[in-house]
Amino acid sequence: NTDKLIAFVLEAENMMFEHPYHNRRHVADVVAGMYVFTLPGGCLYDLVHSSPLAMLSVVFAATIHDLQHTGVNNNFLSKTLHPLAIRHSDKSVNESHHLSSAFDLLGQDDYNFMENVEREDLITFRSLVIEMVMATDMKSHFSILDSFKMFQKARQEDPKSVKILTEMRNVF
């Protein structure tokens, strides 16, 4: 439902706070950058070119990856016993909040552009989005980067031996 998709994106933009970095301009930059990765030659092309659901997941995750960001890092939230840290048990506090805010919004009838999607596809979509947004937690940055480098190396050495969807899931 295109109207509900547009309504979702506009409301998500309205839900962003004005911080020097984690703001709507940052989100626009990330969405544009992620889109470039999905073009031929981009590192996500093989993942999305045959799967509209994967493409939607990538763009959606980029759109909501900092939804209602507090402007401070997870460690600060935990150390100050912020209500979000309490709610999310000190585990990827910001990322968990971004996801719950986005899926709460998506659950509202006016914004549920996924209402006619098969349940299995919705579960796959949620899983992909959750993996991608949780991967933005800087605590896991270096392990993800190492996995991605190994994936890229294997892909360059023998492209036919690498199952793209499986390997991309291993990266995230």
Active site residues: 22
Report the SS3 class of residue 47.
helix
Name the nearest CA neighbour of 23 among 69, 64, 62: 69
How distant, in Å, are the alpha carbons of 15, 29, 63 from that of 33?
Answer: 21, 6, 11
How buried is 46 (Cβ within 10 angstroms: 0-12 exposed, 13-18 middle, 19+ buried)? Answer: buried
15 contact partners, CB below 8 Å, separation of at least 6: 67, 68, 101, 105
160 contact partners, CB below 8 Å, separation of at least 6: none
